[in-house]
Amino acid sequence: MVRNLAMLVGAAFVAVLAWSLFWTVKGQITEPAAVTVEATEFHKHPKALALPSDGWFGKYDKRQLQRGFQVYQEVCAACHSIRLVAFRDLKEIGYNDAQVKAIAKGWKIPQPSINPETGEVATRPSVPADHFPAPFANETAARAANNNALPPDLSLMTKARHGGAAYVYSILTGYEPQSKELLKAFPDVATPQGLHANPYFPTMNIAMAQQLTTDGQVTYMDGTKPTVDQMAKDVSAFMVWTAEPELESRHTAGFAVAIFLLIFCFLAWGAYQNVWRDVKH
Amino acid sequence: MSFPWAKHYAPTNPLMKWVDERLPLPRFVYNAVGAGYPVPRNLNYFWNFGVLAGAALAIQIVTGIVLAMHFAANAGVAFDSVEHIMRDVNGGWFLRYAHATGASMFFVVVYIHIFRGLYYGSYKAPREMVWLLGVVIFLLMMATAFMGYVLPWGQMSFWGAQVITGFFSAIPGIGDTIRVWLLGGYAPGDATLNRFFSLHYLLPFVIAAVIILHIWALHIPGSSNPTGVEVKGEQDTVPFHPYYTAKDGMGLGVFLLIFALLLFFAPNYLGHPDNYIPANSLSTPAHIVPEWYFWPFYAILRAFSSNFILDAKLWGVLAMFGSILLLFFLPWLDSSPVRSANYRPVYRTFFWILVVDILILGWCGGSAATPFYAMLSQICAAYYFAHFLIIIPIISRAERPRPLPNSITEAVLSKHGGTSPAQTAPAAE
């Protein structure tokens, strides 16, 4: 009884699936689905980017993070927030207390506050305990100032995009004019007014204009030559840190745990062999 | 409840004697997972996974309770409270990554545990109740995992909740009413997040309770084994402790090692980047995909794309739930008296086809819904239903199984050359 009923139900599901399959195949033949530009080679995968934080032994290069922070401060911070990061966190990338205090105090964007006398909306200089203030008061203000585009918060950027840091690096260095072949194959993706062609962006056009344009745009304190490529690399490395400040301690703890567990496995294997030595199984 | 030769708890320590006379809890543990539970001597490594699933649940509960101390179930601050855990709580990143990757590890071991049961016919008489309770645990796990994924309130959390609760709107007539009732609103919001948090905290303890029933039901007939031949005598078994505690200890070590490598070196490998973008009801992600452990079922849902008497969406929802609910009938669909696929050549072939079929379904479920993946999932979903509802009932009658060994001991000894009939499992001490 159960089996006969089951076969009936099974036959019903198989029949409906065959019906769906028939229509899918027919649809493919009569009106094949249009290929999206994202599925073609016109849309490029992120460039290869090697950072010291990559891999199992990955560690941050603090000088690189400081350079990346400088690029963020002088270029990105005008539009992009890193609202999850606090000034005090900068101690992790090698700044001392006094430097952090100075950076917070001198930060160009003021910290929203209230007037302690009147309770009215006011601003004050930041202190190390503050998170980085956002360049715009709210989404509406951000869109109003950016041609209706919203510059995303960068705190988690490398974890929030496929490709991670390589994606950030590729967007920053990937601006290029659209080729004739692309425009012929996909006339729809021709760059509209106010957008900028970038084949690393899913829709092929990004609202952000090219920001890293000339070598020497930022003057590095440590003597590193600030080429566009170098600045893009450094700020991408900095983005990895803002997204994963725990990365180094995670790797260190990982090795300690793995070694402990390897010893545990070895001992457990020995115990297993010992207990079972007289029993065939 | 056990074999006549099972050892009895005989405490020598006066304190344990005192406790045992008043509350025989030590005796209960001794009989459940101690020397008082005789287990077939020939269990292979696939029998480790029940214990591993229990360990995974314990890890989820412990990390989850601590996370709940720092998490705020409010749509306005949930995302930031998770980042607060990641950045400002001592060891918070460890707890949260352990909980997130721990969910994946839990599903990995449970899926292997389920396939072990399918291969070795563990669902057959007299162990049907063990299997039924196992399917209940699996359903509870899926509900718990789904609601847990909503809590960080990222884009995939929000849109996953939107899609999954949307299933209920496929029910004719009252569907939309049910959906609004489940969500506590017209779209996922504060009410949804709060109730999901409450249930996400509750269900693991329900799972723990059903696990107790699962083990209780298992201990009535005792564990099955790779030959599928029942225990005939004392020489077929060894006491659970120390034999299987030692073996499970080693299994646990390997499990934790793999878990640790995932947790510390690739914690976001199995996650989706979009969930690091705060939930936004005005921006739909390009591809909404659930977590990997739901992919095969998601593929089955999407495979139904044409109306056939009923709405295609309703077919998809019925099939998706049906694909799990049919497991409840498996003990009666498979009427073959032989349990282990080792002695069922035809069943074994179809078992491996099913494994490949489900892997392909998983691949389709995780990919974008292009016509290619749609066709592939339609074929594979059809096989899935045909396998359980048509092929198994037929082959369980038509197949001629290979001869079974007379006993577990005979099977073990023939594997080792069978030269020493004196070899038996050691008696008590």
Distance CA B71, CA A243 (A): 19
CA nearest to B47, candidates B107, B120, B123: B120
Read off the CATH number of the domain in which B291 is found: 1.20.810.10
The whole-angstrom distance between A29's CA and the closest CA on chain B is 11
The answer to whether A11 contacts B390, with C-beta atoms less than 8 Å apart, is yes
pLDDT digits (tens, 9 = 90+) for B308-323: 999 999 999 999 999 9
Q: Is it the case that residue B428 has pLDDT exceeding 60? A: no
pLDDT for A281 equals 81
Q: Could you give the number of structural domains in chain B? A: 1
| A-contacting residues in B 110-149 (Cβ below 8 Å) | none
pTM of the model: 0.95
Is residue B4 over pLDDT 60? yes
Q: What is the mean pLDDT of residues B119-136?
A: 97
Q: Is B287 left (phi over 0), alpha (psi -120 to 50) or beta?
A: beta
Percent of chain A with pLDDT over 70: 100
CA distances from B341 to B108, B345, B399 (A): 22, 7, 11
Higher-confidence residue: B347 or A31?
B347
What percent of chain B has pLDDT above 90?
93
What is the average pLDDT across B186-213? 97
State whether B388 and A6 contact (CB < 8 Å): yes
Whole-number Å distance between alpha carbons of B3 and B38: 7
Give the mean pLDDT of chain B.
94
Active site residue B219: yes
Give the residue from chain A lying closest to B375, CA to CA.
Answer: A21
Report the pLDDT averaged over residues B364-372.
Answer: 92
- Binned at pLDDT 50, 70 and 90, residue B1 comes out as low
Say if B207 falls within a structural domain.
Answer: yes
Q: Output the average pLDDT for chain A.
A: 95
Distance of residue A22 Cα from the nearest chain B Cα, in angstroms: 9
B283 is catalytic: no
Grade residue A1 by pLDDT with cuts at 50, 70 and 90.
confident
Mean pLDDT of B340-356: 97
Domain ranges of chain A: 1-33, 45-85+132-245, 253-281
How many other CB atoms sit within 10 Å of the CB of residue B372?
14
Region B404-408 average pLDDT: 94
Q: What is the DSSP string of chain A?
A: -HHHHHHHHHHHHHHHHHHHHHHHHHHHHHSPPPPPGGGSTTSPPPPP---TT-STT----HHHHHHHHHHHHHTGGGT---TT-BGGGGGGGT--HHHHHHHHHH-SSPEEEE-TTT--EEEE---TTSBPPPSSSSHHHHHHHTTT--PPP-TTTTTSSTTHHHHHHHHHH---PPPHHHHHH-GGGSPPTT-EE-TTSTTSEESSPP---STTSS--TT-----HHHHHHHHHHHHHHHH-TTHHHHHHHHHHHHHHHHHHHHHHHHHHHHHTTT---
* Chain A residues close to B322, C-beta within 8 Å: 9, 13
Fold for domain A45-85+132-245? Cytochrome Bc1 Complex; Chain D, domain 2 (1.10.760)
Share of chain B above pLDDT 70, in %: 97
Q: Kindly list the residues from chain B whose CB atom is less than 8 angstroms away from the CB atom of residue A13.
A: 319, 322, 381-382, 385, 389
- How many beta-carbon pairs below 8 A join chains A and B? 178
The Cα angle at residue A249 between residues A248 and A252, in degrees rounded to 5: 90
pLDDT at B422 over 50: no
CA distance A94 to chain B (A): 17
Is B272 considered catalytic here?
no
What band does B425 get if pLDDT is binned at 50, 70 and 90?
very low
Confirm whether B5 is domain-assigned.
no
Q: Is residue B423 part of a domain?
A: no
pLDDT digits (tens, 9 = 90+) for B209-235: 999 999 999 999 999 999 999 999 999
Nearest by CB to B276, which of A160, A254, A261? A160
The arithmetic mean of pLDDT across residues B402-419, rounded, is 86
Tell me the residue range of the domain where B376 lies.
14-415
pLDDT of A33: 80
How confident is the model at residue B369, as a pLDDT? 86
- Would residue B415 show up in a list of annotated catalytic residues for this protein? no
For tokens 């107790």, name the residue: B212
Report the gap between the CA of B75 and the closest CA in chain A (Å). Answer: 17
Residues from chain A that touch B43, judged by Cβ atoms under 8 A, are: 281
Task: Reply yes or no on whether the pLDDT at B418 is more than 80.
Answer: no
Our CA-based measurement puts residue A141 at a distance from the nearest CA of chain B, in whole angstroms, of 18
3-state secondary structure string across B32-71: HHCCCCEEECCCCHHHHHHHHHHHHHHHHHHHHHHHHCCC
**Residue B379, domain member (yes or no):** yes
pLDDT at B275 over 60: yes
Q: Which of B20, B248, B274, B334 is catalytic?
A: B248
Quick one: pLDDT at residue B420? 47
pLDDT reading at B326 higher than 70: yes
Q: Which residues of A touch B257 (CB under 8 A)?
A: 258, 261-262, 265
Confidence of residue A204 (pLDDT cuts 50, 70, 90): very high
Residue A280's pLDDT band, with cuts at 50, 70 and 90, is: confident
Nearest CA in chain A to B225: A281
Residue B234 annotated to the active site: no
Query: Where on the phi/psi map is residue B228: left (φ > 0), alpha (ψ -120 to 50), or beta?
Result: left
**Three-state secondary structure along B198-265?**
HHHHHHHHHHHHHHHHHHHHHHCCCCCCCCCCCCCCHHHEEEHHHHHHHHHHHHHHHHHHHHHHHHHH
For the stretch A208-239, pLDDT in tens is: 999 999 999 999 999 999 999 999 999 999 99
* Complex confidence, ipTM: 0.94
Alpha-carbon separation of residue B70 from A156, B92, B108, B190, B341 (angstroms): 20, 9, 28, 18, 48
Model confidence pLDDT, tens digit, residues A61-114:
999 999 999 999 999 999 999 999 999 999 999 999 999 999 999 999 999 999
Q: What is the mean pLDDT of residues A170-197?
A: 94
What residues of chain B, 326 to 385, have a C-beta less than 8 Å from chain A?
326, 329, 332-333, 335, 370-371, 374-375, 378-379, 381-382, 385
- B250 neighbourhood in chain A, CB within 8 Å: 265, 268-269, 271-272
pLDDT for res B424: 45
Indicate if the pLDDT at residue A198 is higher than 60: yes
**Contact call for B305 and A13, based on CB within 8 A:** no
Q: Spell out the residues 6+ positions from residue A108 whose beta carbon is closer than 8 angstroms to its own.
A: A77
Of B43, B94, B389, the CB nearest to A9: B389
Q: Which residues pair with B239 in a beta bridge?
A: B38
